[in-house]
Amino acid sequence: MKWDLILSNSFYTAISANAVAYILVASGLNVHFGYTGLLNFGQAGFAAIGAYSLSIPISRYDWPWPLAVLMVIVSSVILALLLGIPTLRLRADYLAIVTIAVAEIIRLFMNSVRFTWLTGGNDGLQGFTRFMENINPFPDDGITLWAQKVDGYRLWLLVTGWILVALVSTGIWALMRSPWGRVLKSIREDEDAARSLGKNIFAYKMQSLIIGGFVGALGGMWLVLDKQSSQPQDFSTTFTFFAYTIIILGGIARAKGPVIGTMIFLFVIQFVDITLQQATRTTPTDPTPLLPEWIVDENNFSQVRFIVAGLALAILVIVRPQGIFGDKREQAFDVR
Amino acid sequence: MSADVVSYQPVPGSKKDDAILVVDGVRRAFGGLVAVNVDHVEVPRNKITALIGPNGAGKTTFFNLLTGFDSPDHGTSVFNGQRLDGLAAHKVARLGMVRTFQLTKALSRMSVIENMRLGAANQKGENIFRGLFSPLWRAQEAEITARAEELLARFNLAHMRDELAGGLSGGQRKLLEMARALMVEPEMVMLDEPMAGVNPALKQSLLEHIKGLRNEGRTVLFVEHDMDMVREISDWIIVMAEGVVIAEGTSDDIGSNQAVIDAYLGAHHDSDLGGE
């Protein structure tokens, strides 16, 4: 077992540009669910919109990248309005149903053969990352972090991504300690009470949906910048539930919750994955793997990481239900 | 007893010389059930008015209709010269009519002081763009906090300032809700069963707080089942039964009103509840 490789790769995964994408998607969901109590089960839809609003204009229509980024902002706001206007006046469950459906519609649209000319269908879109490559100040062969090699482009995405995370997290933190954030929290606690005190609940929910959706779209954008390919299968409902897992891990309604939650989540998954990969590997010189094949073999170990991640989450919820940064006192009143 | 002597006609729909709230022909039906069908009611300014009636009389529905939490099928209500019917709840609150709830709505996972701060109207930092920059709302926040602390002290909650509201007892929540409503600086306070589930010792102090509201120049309309309390603090009483106002008057008038007695005893089915 090459522990230095396993550990360095797991640590890198926890801070990589891919992790940045998860942090942003989860941060957006934290604004919706954590602070405002909006049950958004379609955060993957916002991420998909962010990804494709960048890749379609650049790949298909050769737009300059600042316009494509503007497109990410505009389309995520439009999606939030489309989701919010019919549902935010209704009970919380309606938003949940509509968001999960819309996210699936978006994914199926991106996947459809009929629109392959636009979205690239199942193969997705490539070649939209050149602008990031062109302004990359790092040498192409990159650097080696411990035992992990990181190429120049990924390093550049990692650095800019963490700057983005710092900006977004600080922004959310600043908003949530302001009177604006106080109104959001009051909506989460009891929207009738907030209404009786003269707060326009609908407007605040809408703003929350827009802000969180926009941050989620940035996450989707970073995800496909890192993969250098935008593909519909990356935006399935599972992505949304990973984001929920992350904010529950890190602590709901905490600014640093998504950051720490993502790092733990991705570290555990990656660590389990490559440890098992090593433990089940057979080579011509060494035909017997470390783990006996009747337990797990090299064809089915990749499923095990999610079993272990699920187990870890279950243990955390039992031992520390408020998450890593949550406030234990709040748990006592969590029943409504 | 009452601070001022009131001398309105003790009949349903009686005229008040200075009515803060005038309701006309407000009706609300749920399917075939007419929950509220109020012909004409005026609520006197700067008085404590009680709204009483047997269970299912439509008191809370009437409250919801007035405060924008429900909208009437037809009819008008005018508060301080402004139409309320069809207005959203938050707009009603901004006009100066703030309500509390029968089941208290403390914001559990927020501290007591944050509950209070939320109540303040016209906060600069409640705008998303200004909220981002704390220098724009710091000063106002400090003012609000000072006012909130004053109110907490008055309602004997100062020691709970930084506790989460979910940790308060039932009675303390009633106090918090009332104090929070006052943060809006309302002209009229609508209390939905302020005494429900409150122990006798706290009841007395709640009564004093309600009287205090009137002494500050506010108008109070409250729904209550506790008749001792109603008799002790109300200047005027409005009685509802089956969605209709069946009587109005001082506590003496009401105590001897046959329609009211019948309504409470359930013998009103064959009597004329429009009652002159």
Question: Which CATH number covers residue A324?
Answer: 1.10.3470
CA dist., res. A216 & res. A49, Å (int): 9
Start-to-end CA distance of chain A, whole Å, equals: 50
Question: A189 and B99 in contact by Cβ < 8 A?
Answer: no
CA trace torsion A23, A29, A33, A35 (10° rounding): 60
Residues 6+ apart with CB under 8 A from A130: none
Pair A244, A307: CB distance under 8 Å: no
| Residue of A321, A242, A278, A176 lying closest to A24 (CA atoms) | A242
Question: A196 and B89 in contact by Cβ < 8 A?
Answer: yes
Q: Percent helix, strand, coil in chain B (nearest 5)?
A: 40, 25, 40
Question: A181 and B109 in contact by Cβ < 8 A?
Answer: no
Question: A201 and B90 in contact by Cβ < 8 A?
Answer: yes
Total count of domains within chain A: 1
Question: A193 and B109 in contact by Cβ < 8 A?
Answer: no
Is the torsion defined by CA of A133, A134, A136, A139 positive or negative? Answer: positive
Residues 6+ apart with CB under 8 A from A185: A35, A36, A176, A253, B107, B109, B110, B114
Q: Which domain holds residue A124?
A: 3-331
Q: Is residue A256 part of a domain?
A: yes
pLDDT at B142 over 50: yes
Work out the pLDDT band at A334, boundaries 50, 70, 90.
low
Q: Would the pTM count as exceeding 0.95?
A: no
Pair A40, A177: CB distance under 8 Å: no
Work out the pLDDT band at A87, boundaries 50, 70, 90.
very high
pLDDT tens digit string along B173-215? Answer: 999 999 999 999 999 999 999 988 788 888 888 899 999 999 9
B239 strand-pairing partners: B52, B247
Using CB atoms, pick whichever of A180, A182, A334 lies closest to residue B117.
Answer: A182
CA dist., res. A293 & res. B119, Å (int): 64
Residues 6+ apart with CB under 8 A from B79: B20, B21, B92, B95, B96, B97, B188
Using CB atoms, pick whichever of A175, A196, A333 lies closest to residue B93.
Answer: A196
The average pLDDT across B245-268 equals 83
CA dist., res. B105 & res. B115, Å (int): 10
- Other CB atoms within a 10 A radius of the CB of residue A253 amount to 24
Report pLDDT for A267: 93
Question: B184 and A171 in contact by Cβ < 8 A?
Answer: no
State how far residue A214 is from chain B, nearest Cα, in angstroms.
Answer: 15
- Other CB atoms within a 10 A radius of the CB of residue A112 amount to 14
Which domains does chain B show, CATH number per domain? 1-106+170-276 (3.40.50.300), 107-167 (no CATH)
B134 touches chain A (CB under 8 A): yes
pLDDT at A2 over 70: yes
According to DSSP, the β-strands at B97-99 and B82-83 are: unpaired
Contacts of residues B257-265 at CB distance under 8 Å and 24 or more positions apart, as own/partner, are B257/B10, B263/B53, B263/B54, B263/B57, B263/B239, B264/B54
CA dist., res. B263 & res. A47, Å (int): 61
Question: B90 and A195 in contact by Cβ < 8 A?
Answer: yes
State how far residue B238 is from chain A, nearest Cα, in angstroms.
Answer: 23
* Token pair for B137: 């709302």
pLDDT tens digit string along B1-40? Answer: 444 556 788 888 888 888 999 999 999 999 989 999 999 9
**Range 168-207 of B in CB contact (< 8 A) with A:** 180-181, 183-184
Using CB atoms, pick whichever of B118, B133, B181 lies closest to residue A182.
Answer: B118
Q: Is residue A336 part of a domain?
A: no
Helices assigned H by DSSP within chain B: 59-67, 89-95, 112-119, 128-131, 138-154, 170-183, 200-215, 227-233, 251-255, 258-265
Using CB atoms, pick whichever of B93, B106, B164 lies closest to residue A197.
Answer: B93
| Inter-chain contacts counted by CB atoms under 8 A, chains A and B | 111
Pair B44, B238: CB distance under 8 Å: no
Least confident of A104-108, A162-166, A176-180, B99-103: B99-103
- What residues of A are in contact with residue B117 (Cβ under 8 Å)? 179, 182
pLDDT tens digit string along A186-216? Answer: 999 999 999 999 999 999 999 999 999 999 9
Q: Is residue A18 part of a domain?
A: yes
**Range 212-271 of B in CB contact (< 8 A) with A:** none
